[in-house]
Amino acid sequence: MGLTRLEITRRTALLTSAAIAANVVNPMRAFAQETPRKGGVFNVHYGAEQRQLNPSLQASTGVYIISGKIQESLVDLDAQGKPVGVLAESWESSPDGKTITFKLRKGVTWHDGKPFTSADVQFTAMEMWKKILNYGSTLQLFLIAVDTPDPQTAIFRYERPMPLNLLLRALPDLGYISAKHLYESGDIRQNPVNLAPVGTGPFKFVKYERGQYIIADRNPDYWRPNAPYLDRIVWKVITDRAAAAAQMEAGELQYSPFSGLTISDMARLSKDKRFIVTTKGNEGNARTNTLEFNFRRKELSDIRVRRAIAHAINVPFFIDNFLGDFAKLGTGPIPSTSTDFYPGANTPQYPYDKAKATALFDEAGYKPGAGGTRFSLRLLPAPWGEDISLWSTFIQQSLSEVGIPVEIVRNDGGGFLKQVYAEHAFDLATGWHQYRNDPAVSTTVWYRSGQPKGAPWTNQWGWEDAKADKTIDDALTELDPAKRKALYAEFVKQVNTELPVWMPIEQIFVTTITAKARNHSNTPRWGSSNWHDLWLSA
Amino acid sequence: MRIVSLAGRRLAASIPTLVLILIGVFLLLQLAPGDTVDALMAQMGGGDAASARALREFYGLDLSIPAQLGNYLWRLVRLDLGFSSIYGKPVSTVILERLPPTILLMTASLSFAFFFGLVFGVLAARSVNKWPDTLISTIGLIFYATPSFWFGLMAIVVFSIYLQWLPAGGFEDIGAVQTGIWRVLDIARHLLLPTATLGLIFLAIYLRIMRASMLEVLNLDFVRTARAKGLDETRVITGHVLRNALLPMVTLIGLQAGTMLGGSVVVESVFSLPGLGRLAYESVIQRDLNTLLGIVFVSALLVIIVNFVVDLLYARLDPRISAGG
C-alpha cells in the first residue's frame, strides 16, 4: 500500500515541479507600463475562521489575512525585507538598548474619525502585546513602560537591553495597534470590536457573517494619497480545499493564500494562464519540517541514536518525489530565507547514509533482535498539512528498513498539542517550526531549557544544555547586529550537533492568485500586509 | 385530545433519552485529548503557559469534570445552552443563525428524494423486470454508490465552471443586496446543486423501498378484489395500492431526518454553506463543548419532532393504527 501511494504522489509531484518552475521564473510578467486601475472586488479564500480578528491580541496568519488590511502595524517589511515605517515614521535606540523611541505618523485617524496618537501605542503595548498577544508576551517580557511625552512620540522602556533589529523584525507581526478609546473599558478579550475590527488601514470593516464571509470596503480617508485601489475585499469561508479550487476556476475567488489548496490543485492551476502560482511574497512565512525527539525514551537520549535516525532518512529523495519545488533541503532551525541570520550550511548535517546509521545503532548497543527489530517507536504527526502526513509515513518506512518499527498516532490539532507538549506522550513527533524573521521570536524557545510544561512549540523534549542556553540568552540582549548574527550561527552549530530537534526541510507557503492582480506578492509577508497598492487589471 | 395526550406521552418518554445523550456526548468529549484552549493555541500558532492558564479560567475549564457537567445540566434546566467559546456568543444564538440553511437544505432534499423516489419506485414496480425497471434500478444504484463529496465537486465542475449556470458555493450572493422574492430566488439558485447532491443519494434508497413495497402490496388479496370489481389498473394503483405501500416510506423519512442532519457536513463543506453540520464539525475540532452539546440537543429535538409527525402520518394513512392504539 505504501508503494502505491508513493507512486501516485510522485507523479503528481513531478507534474507540480515542472509546472511551478515555468511560472516561478517571472511571476510578475511585464506590468511596468500599465496604469493602476481603481475599483474592483477582490475575493479571498478564507480556510479557517478564528475566534477573534484583532492582530494586537492574536499573532497568526488567519488573523493577518483579514485584519492586516484594516489595522496597521508600527512597521512592516519592504520588498527587500528591510523594516519600513507604517504608523511609525522613524525610530532610534539609546546606546544601552534599554530605551527605544518611535516617532509616529501625523494626521492618521481611526476608521471612526478619532485621531491616532501615542496613547494608542502605549495602551496596545502594555495591555495587549505584553499581557495577551502570543509571542508578544515573550517579546515584551522586560518592557517596563511606554512613555508618551507628546501625541507623536512613544518611548519604550525596557528592563534589559532590547536589540533594535530584533524589535523591528518582530514588529511587522507583533506590532499591530488597536484604538485605546474602544478598548479601555471592560474585558479586552470579550470586546465586540474584536470581531468588528476598527483600525487606521486602507480598508474599513463592513460585515462579518460567521461561517460565510467578511467584507471590508475602501477607506476614503486613508493617509496614503490615492490608496487603496480596490473598492472592496470579500473573504469567503470555504473549508473544503477542493471546493476552493473549483471556486477559483469559476471566477468566484481571486486569491487563495498560504498553500490553501491541495498540492495537486496548485499544480493544475499553475498550468492555467488565468492564475499565478508562486512562493514569492511568502518568504517571511518560512517554515521547517521537524523531527522532535523525546529524551525520556532511553534510546533517544543517546546522541548516536538520534544521529543514526537522521542518517537513515533520505531527505532529498523525499523532497524530490513528494514536495517538488514547494520545498528544499533544510540545514537547521534558521531557514535560508532569513538573510540577516542564516548561518549557511557549514554546520553539522546528517546526509542519508544507511551504513553509517546501522553502525551508529550497533555502536549504541541497539543490535537487531528477534525478527531484525532494534526497538520500536511511536510517532505523532501534527495535522496541519499534507506534507507532514507524507513526511511521517516516509519516516516510518525509512526507519523500518533499519530495524525500527514505527507506529503512527494521528490526532487533531488540540489533541496533538496536548499529547506532545503537555503530556509528553510521544517518542517522535513531527510538525512545522514557523520561523518569524528573528530566531529570538520563534525559534530559540524550541531549544531553551526551562520552558513551562504544556507551552506548545517549545522545548518539551527533556533536553537541557547549559552551553546552548547561554548562547540563546546572550543573543537575546546583544545589541551589535554582527555579534548577534555570530551568536545565532554558534547556536545553530550547537543544536545541530546535539540534535534535540532535527529540521531537515525548508518550505515557503504557496500563493494562488488571479493573473489580473497587480502589485501582489511584492513584500516578504504580502498575504499579511495591508494591500494598499494592490489593483486588478481589466 | 388524543393527539395532545400522544404528544405529551412522547415528549415525556424522550426527556430521559435527551439527558442520556447529552451526558454521553459530554463524557465522550472528555476522552478526546486536548481542550478548547489547546485547540485555540493550535490555531494561533503558539502562546505562553500563563496566558493558557488565564484562558482556561476564562472558559471555566479549571473546574473538575463532574463540576463542569453539573454546571452544564443545571444551566440546561433553566433552558440556557451556555456560551460558545469559538463564537463568543450564546450557543442558542449561534445555532439559530445556522439552523435555517440546514433546515432548508434538509427539507428540500428530503422532499426531492421522497417525491422522485415515489414516482420512480412506482414506475419500476409497474414494469417489474422489464427494461424501465432495470434502467431505474441501475441508475439508482449508481447514485447510491457514489460518494456525495465527489458528486458535489463534479456538479460544480459541470454547472459552475464549465456551463457557468449556477454558483459554485455560498448561501446567497454577497455582491448584491437583495430583498423579498429576489432574495428567495437567489438562495434557491444557490441551494439547487447541494439539494440535488444530497437528495440523489437518498433518492436511491426511497426508490428501492417504494418498488419493493409496491410489489408486495400488489400481490395482496384486496388488490385482486379491486381488479375483480373491474377497476382499471390506474385506479387500483392510486386508490388502493399506493396508500398502503407508502407506510415504509414514511418510516424511512423519520429515520433519515437524523442522518440528513449529520450527513450534510460533507455537502455543506463542499458548497460552503453555513449549516449545522459544519458548525458541529468545527465544534469538535475546536473542542467547543457547549456548542457541540447545543447542536446535539437541537438535533435530537428535531429528530423527536419529525418522528412524532411520522407517527401522526401513520394514523392518517392507515386508520387501523389509531383504532388499535
Instruction: Tell me, rounded to whole angstroms, the distance of Cα A259 from its chain centroid.
Output: 12
Q: Could you say which residues from 164 to 223 on chain B have a Cβ atom under 8 Å away from some Cβ of chain A? A: 164, 167-171, 174-175
Beta carbons of A417 and B97 less than 8 Å apart: no
Prior bond of A228 cis (ω within 30°): yes
Instruction: State whether residue B36 sits within 8 Å of chain A by CB.
Output: yes
Running DSSP on this structure, what letter comes out for residue B114? H
Q: Select the residue of A414, A422, A423 nearest B39 (Cβ to Cβ).
A: A414
Identify the closest residue of chain B to A214 by CA–CA distance.
B174
Which tens digit of pLDDT belongs to each residue from A278-318? 999 998 889 999 999 999 999 999 999 999 999 999 999 99
Which residue, among A79, A35, A25, has the nearest Cα to A522 in the 3D structure?
A: A79
CA-based nearest residue to A303, from A463, A180, A173, A189? A463
- The 3-class secondary structure across A250-307, one letter per residue, is CCCCCEECCCCCCHHHHHHHCCCCCEEEECCCCHHHEEEEEEEECCCCCCCCCHHHHH
CB contact under 8 A, B88 and A49: no
C-alpha distance from A93 to closest chain B C-alpha (Å) = 27
Residue B50 sits at the chain A interface (C-beta within 8 Å)? yes
Cα distances (Å, whole numbers) of residue A41 to A218, A255, A395, A440, A516 = 10, 11, 45, 39, 12
Contacts of B279 in chain A (CB under 8 A): 211
| pLDDT tens per residue across span A218-262 | 999 999 998 899 999 999 999 989 999 999 999 999 999 999 998
Interface residue B269 vs chain A (CB under 8 A)? yes
Strand partners of residue A432: A289
Q: How far does the CA of residue B51 sit from the closest CA of chain A (Å)?
A: 7
Per-residue three-class SS string for B27-70: HHHHHCCCCHHHHHHHHHCCCCHHHHHHHHHHCCCCCCHHHHHH
Which three cell numbers mark B12?
Answer: 415525556
Interface subset of B 224-243, CB within 8 angstroms of A = none
Nearest Cα residue in chain B from A231? B175
Average pLDDT, chain A: 90
3-state secondary structure of A513: strand
Q: Do B48 and A454 touch (CB under 8 A)?
A: no
Q: pLDDT value at position B21?
A: 85
User: Half-sphere exposure of residue A222, counting CA atoms within 13 Å on the CB side?
Assistant: 25
Best interface-test mutation with B: which of A56, A61, A134 has the largest number of B CBs within 10 A? Answer: A134
Q: Do the Cβ atoms of B156 and A246 come within 8 Å?
A: yes
Query: Cα–Cα distance between A482 and A96 in angstroms, integer?
Result: 17
The whole-model pTM stands at 0.86
Q: Are A42 and A255 in contact (CB under 8 A)?
A: yes
C-alpha cell, A132: 495577551
Q: What is the per-residue pLDDT for A17?
A: 44
> C-alpha cell of A414?
488540540
Residue A391 has pLDDT above 80, yes or no: yes
Q: Nearest 5 degrees, angle CA A217-CA A219-CA A105?
A: 145
pLDDT tier, A381 (very low <50, low <70, confident <90, very high otherwise): very high
Distance between CA atoms of residues A41 and A136, nearest Å: 33
| DSSP code, position A160 | S
Of B38, B174, B285, the CB nearest to A417: B38
Contact B41 A51 (CB under 8 A): no
**CA-based torsion, B38, B42, B43, B47: positive or negative:** positive
Q: How far apart are CA A491 and CA A489, in angstroms?
A: 5
Q: CB distance A234–B51 less than 8 Å? A: no
In chain A, what percentage of residues exceed pLDDT 90? 74
> Does A12 have pLDDT greater than 50?
no
Given a cut of 90, whether residue A71 has pLDDT beyond it is yes
* CA gap A379, A427 in Å, rounded: 6
Q: Are the Cβ atoms of A416 and B34 closer than 8 angstroms?
A: yes
ipTM of the complex: 0.83
Q: A169-179 pLDDT, tens per residue?
A: 999 999 999 99
B33–A contact, CB cutoff 8 A: yes
Pairing of strands A428-430, A143-150: unpaired
* Nearest by Cα to A500 from A523, A468, A534: A468
What pLDDT does B193 receive?
92
Residues of A in Cβ contact (< 8 Å) with B87: 51, 210
Cell numbers for A166: 530584533
Q: What residues of A are in contact with residue B152 (Cβ under 8 Å)?
A: 243
* 3 state SS of B302: helix
pLDDT higher than threshold 70 for residue A334 = yes
Within the 9-28 window of chain B, which residues sit less than 8 Å (CB to CB) from chain A?
none
**Distance separating alpha carbons of residues A266 and A510, to the nearest angstrom:** 8
Confidence of residue A25 (pLDDT cuts 50, 70, 90): very low
Q: Which helix (H) or strand (E) holds A70?
A: none
| Beta-carbon separation of A137 and B286 below 8 A | no
Q: Is pLDDT at A33 greater than 80 in this prediction? A: no
Q: In this complex, do B48 and A212 lie within 8 Å of one another by their Cβ atoms?
A: no
Which residue from A minimizes the CA distance to B280? Answer: A211
Name beta bridge partners: A487: none
> What is the distance between the alpha carbons of residues B126 and B301, in angstroms, rounded to a whole number?
39
Find the range with the poorest average confidence among A114-123, A196-205, A457-466, B168-177.
Answer: B168-177
Contacts of A453 in chain B (CB under 8 A): 49
pLDDT above 50: residue A5:
no
Q: How many residues does chain B have?
A: 325
DSSP string, B222-260: HHHHHHHTT--HHHIIIIIIHHHHHHHHHHHHHHHHHHH
C-alpha cell at position A254: 481571486
Amino acid at A178: S
pLDDT at res. B78:
85
Distance CA A130, CA B3 (A): 63
Spans in chain B with pLDDT lower than 70: 1-3, 176-177, 260-263, 321-325
Close Cβ partners of B297 (under 8 Å, ≥ 6 residues apart): B18, B22, B76, B81
pLDDT bin (cut points 50, 70, 90) of residue A151 is: very high
Any idea of the CA torsion for B117, B122, B123, B128, to the nearest 10 degrees?
120
Task: Tell me what pLDDT residue A513 has.
Answer: 97
What does the pLDDT read at residue B262?
Answer: 62
In this structure, are residues B91 and B84 in contact, taking their beta carbons and an 8 Å threshold?
Answer: yes
- The CB density around residue A452, as the number of other CB atoms within 10 Å, is 12
Out of B34, B86, B97, closest to residue A417 by CB: B34
B45 in A contact zone (CB under 8 Å): yes
Count of CB atoms situated within 10 Å of the CB of A537: 14
Smallest Cβ distance to A132: which of B39, B51, B167?
Answer: B51
